Structure 1
Amino acid sequence: MAAGDFPGASYLVAGDGGILAEGALGSAVLRPERIAAATSTLYDLASLTKPIAGSCLAAVLSSEGRLSCDDPLSRHLREWNPPGDAARVTLLDLLTHRSGLPAWRPVYIHASGRDEYLEWLKRLPLDRPPGERVVYSDPGYILLGFALERAGGAPLHRLFAEKVARPLALRDLLYRPPRSLRRRIAATEAGNRRERVLAGTEGDGYNGWRAGLAWGEVHDLNARALGGSSAHAGLFGTARAVFLVAREILGPGTGLLDERQRELMRDNLTAGLGEDRSLGFLLASNPGTPAGSGLSRRSFGHTGFTGTSLWIDPDARRLYVLLTNRVHPECREIDMNAIRRGFHEIAAAL
C-alpha cells in the first residue's frame, strides 16, 4: 500500500483453533471520497466467485441429486447443440478448466442476457478438444452458471443465497448488493481501461463501456451484462464471510459439503493436462503459484482479478484470506502474486 499498488486490504488467517489474525488496512474508497477499509468492508471477489459459488453450488446440487459433475452440459442446457467436440463438454470439464473453451472473450460486445450469451457461446469455436489440456476459462464458468440455474430451478443469485449463504448464516456474501450497502463496499475501477485493452479492435464501435466508477456494482463486464450474477464473477463479500465458506471446504464444517465433495476440491483432477486443478481450485503442486513457500504443496486456492485470494492448507489446517481492491481507482500492472506469497509466508508463521 505504501507503494501505491492498492489502496486498502482486509485479511484473515485461521486454524483449527479459530481465527489467528484478522484486520483491515488503508482505504476502501479513494474517489469520490476517502472511506477507510474495515473488517466489515465488502470486496468485489471477482474470480473467487468460481470456487465459492460455482464449485460449491455444483457440489450442493450434486448432493441433492439434481446433477452429476460428469453430466454433459447438454443434459442441463437443452439448447447446447454446437457442432463438433463442443457438444461433449461436461460439467466437470467446465469446473476444472479442461473444456477447450478460450480463456476470455468480451461476449458483452456481441450479446446481452443469458439467452443471447448462450447462443453466442454456442458458436464460439473451441481452442482444443475437451479433456486435452487445462486452460483457465471465464466462458466455461459462464456456461456452468447457466447449467446450475437450470439444475437448481432458480436464478444464480437466489440459488447461492438459499443453498450456501443462508445455511451458513452469511449476510455478507452475496450477488448484486443493494445500494444501501454501498458505503461498506470497496470501490474498483473508474472506467474500463483494462477490458478495453483486452478487447482490442473487437471493441471498436462498442458503446456500452462503463463511464464512471464501479462502486457497489460488479467490475467484470461479462458479469455486468448478465445482471451482476454469474458463476465466473459477481460475488461481493467480507474476509470473514469468505473464511466461513473456506472452513466448510477444509472440513469438517457444518454439513454443507460431505467428505467426498471436499476431496474433489483438493485432489488433482487434471493430471497430465498441463496444470494441476481440482473442483474449482488451483493446486500448489504447480510451480509459481500464489501459495508460495509458506504453504504446503497440498494447498489449494484461487485468486480474483480485483486483488482477492483464498488459500487453504489441509496439512497445516490453515485458511488464508486476503482481499484488496488493487484496481481502484485505476488498474495498475503489479505483481499481485508476489504480494500474496509474502502475505502467506508471514501468516504461516503465526
Structure 2
Amino acid sequence: MNKEIDLIVEKALEDSNFNCVALGLIDFDDLSFSSKFYSNLDRFDEEREVYFDLASITKPMTLGLSYLAAPEIFDQEMILLLEHRSGLPAWGRLSHSSWRELLLSYKISESKTLYSDFGALRLQLEIEKKIGKSVYEFLKDFHDKEIKNWLTLNGEQCVPTGFRRGQEICGHVHDDNAFVINSRVCHAGLFGSVEGLCRNLIKLEKDFSFISKIGLKQEHRFNKGFDRVENPSKSLAGVHSDETTFGHLGFTGTSFWIYPNKNKGIVILTNETTTCWYDREKLSKFRKDVANNLLK
C-alpha cells in the first residue's frame, strides 16, 4: 500500500462509521497480492490475523463457488436462484425451527432481478439435496484456512460490527437471520482475514479460471452468483471498472472487485455497521477512492 492510500484510510478512520479497515490488491498475472490492516482501536495483536464478518460476500464464496466446482448439478431453477431472478422475496424474518419449510414453500418462477437472501438460502437447500451433504462440507477443500464460518471460529481476533441486545457483536455473525438460524448458512456467516480472501480469490482463478467465466458482459446484473458492474460511471468499483468488472458487497462494509480489463482484484474490508448501518455515503466514497488509487 502506498502513502496516498495510508492518508485516505487515516482520514476515513477519523470521520467514518468504521474503525477497522483491511485492504488487499491482487495481481492475477503473477498470482500475488499485497495487503494491510488499519485500525484506531487498541485491541489487536499485530502478529495475528484479524478477521472480518464478510456478510454477503458469503454468497459468492459458497453458492458461486459451488457453481464453479460443480456446474453440472445446477438446473435452470437453481440458476435463477443463483442470479437473483427466482421471484423469491428479498428478505424477511426467519425462525430457527421453520426456516427450511418456509423457504421450500415458495414457487420459483423467472422474474426481474431482485437481490434476495431468501433466494440464496433456498439455493443452499437445493444444492444440498443434489449433493447429499452440506455446502460447507462440499467446499471444505476450496476455502482458504482463514475463511471460516462464524460457528467454527475458535479464538480468532475479530473486529466488532455493532451491538445486539446491548452486547457488542464481535466474533458472532452480524446478520440477524444467520444468528437466529444458528447453522452454517450461505447468505451470510463467513468470516475471513484480508489475506485469506485474497488467497481464496487467487485459488478460484487457479482452479477454475473464474475471471474468464464470470467477467463477461451480459443481459442480467448477476452472473453465477457474482455481482456485475452495470454502469461504470456510477459504480462503487471506481473509474477503472467496466462492464466486465464483477465482485460482491457485504452489509458490514465489505467488498471485493475483480477487474478483467486489468487482471487485478481489490478487497476492501471494514466494520461499517459498528456505529451506523443506514448512512453509506462516506463508505461509498471511501470504496471509490481506494479503488481509484490502487488501480491508477
TM-score range, shorter chain: 0.7 to 0.9
8 Å CA contact 1:57, 1:164 repeated in 2: no
Q: Larger relative CO (CA 8 A, sep 6+): 1 or 2?
A: 2
Higher Rg: 1
Deviation at 1:37, TM superposition (A): 8.0
Q: Which amino acid aligns with 2:158?
A: I
Deviation per residue, 1:193-212 (Å, 9 max, x gap):
xxxxxxxxxxxxxxxxx442
Distance change in 2, residues 1:171/1:229 (3 Å): same
Distance change in 2, residues 1:106/1:268 (3 Å): farther
Map 1:193-232; keep pairs closer than 5 Å.
Answer: 210-232=165-187
Distance change in 2, residues 1:43/1:228 (3 Å): farther
Match of 1:318 in 2: 264
Match of 1:164 in 2: 142
Counterparts of 2:183 and 2:24, CA distance in 1: 26
| 1:94 and 2:81 are equivalent in the alignment | yes
Deviation at 1:178, TM superposition (A): 4.4
8 Å CA contact 2:127, 2:135 repeated in 1: yes
Q: Which amino acid aligns with 1:241?
A: G
Match of 1:26 in 2: 39
Aligned structure 1 segments of 4 or more residues deviating by more than 6 angstroms: none
Counterparts of 1:131 and 1:50, CA distance in 2: 20
Q: Which TM-score applies when normalising by structure 1? A: 0.73
Q: 1:150 aligns with which of 88, 104, 129?
A: 129
Map 1:98-113; keep pairs closer than 5 Å.
Answer: 98-107=85-94, 111-113=95-97
CA RMSD of aligned residues (A): 2.4
Distance change in 2, residues 1:225/1:131 (3 Å): same
Counterparts of 1:155 and 1:122, CA distance in 2: 16
Q: 1:70 aligns with which of 66, 69, 75?
A: 75
Q: How many residues align structurally?
A: 280
8 Å CA contact 1:189, 1:327 repeated in 2: yes
Q: 1:185 aligns with which of 158, 164, 174?
A: 158
Counterparts of 1:337 and 1:153, CA distance in 2: 40
Q: Which TM-score applies when normalising by structure 2? A: 0.85
Deviation at 1:216, TM superposition (A): 0.8
Q: Secondary structure at the match of 2:223?
A: coil
8 Å CA contact 2:146, 2:193 repeated in 1: yes
Which consecutive unaligned segments of at least 5 residues does structure 1 have?
A: 72-89, 192-209
Distance change in 2, residues 1:96/1:286 (3 Å): farther
Which consecutive unaligned segments of at least 5 residues does structure 2 have?
A: 1-12
Q: 1:8 aligns with which of 13, 17, 20?
A: 20
Deviation per residue, 1:56-109 (Å, 9 max, x gap):
0232133xx5x1x225xxxxxxxxxxxxxxxxxx110011010111211122xx
Distance change in 2, residues 1:139/1:37 (3 Å): farther
Q: Secondary structure at the match of 1:327?
A: helix
Q: Secondary structure at the match of 2:70?
A: helix
Counterparts of 1:307 and 1:37, CA distance in 2: 22
Deviation per residue, 1:270-326 (Å, 9 max, x gap):
x1xxx5221111212335221121223321111000010010011100010011111
Q: Higher strand proportion, which one?
A: 2
Q: Which amino acid aligns with 1:304?
A: G
Q: Which amino acid aligns with 1:306?
A: T
Map 1:251-330; keep pairs closer than 5 Å.
Answer: 251=205, 253=206, 255=207, 257=208, 259=209, 263-268=212-217, 271=219, 275-286=220-231, 288-330=234-276
Distance change in 2, residues 1:305/1:186 (3 Å): same
Deviation per residue, 1:154-182 (Å, 9 max, x gap):
23333332x412xxxx2110113545324
Counterparts of 1:160 and 1:234, CA distance in 2: 15
Match of 1:35 in 2: 43
| 1:244 and 2:199 are equivalent in the alignment | yes
Q: Secondary structure at the match of 2:280?
A: coil
Counterparts of 2:238 and 2:116, CA distance in 1: 23
Deviation at 1:189, TM superposition (A): 1.3
Counterparts of 2:83 and 2:32, CA distance in 1: 30
8 Å CA contact 2:54, 2:252 repeated in 1: yes
| 1:333 and 2:282 are equivalent in the alignment | no
Q: Secondary structure at the match of 1:312?
A: strand
Counterparts of 1:180 and 1:133, CA distance in 2: 41
8 Å CA contact 2:50, 2:158 repeated in 1: yes
Q: Secondary structure at the match of 2:66?
A: helix
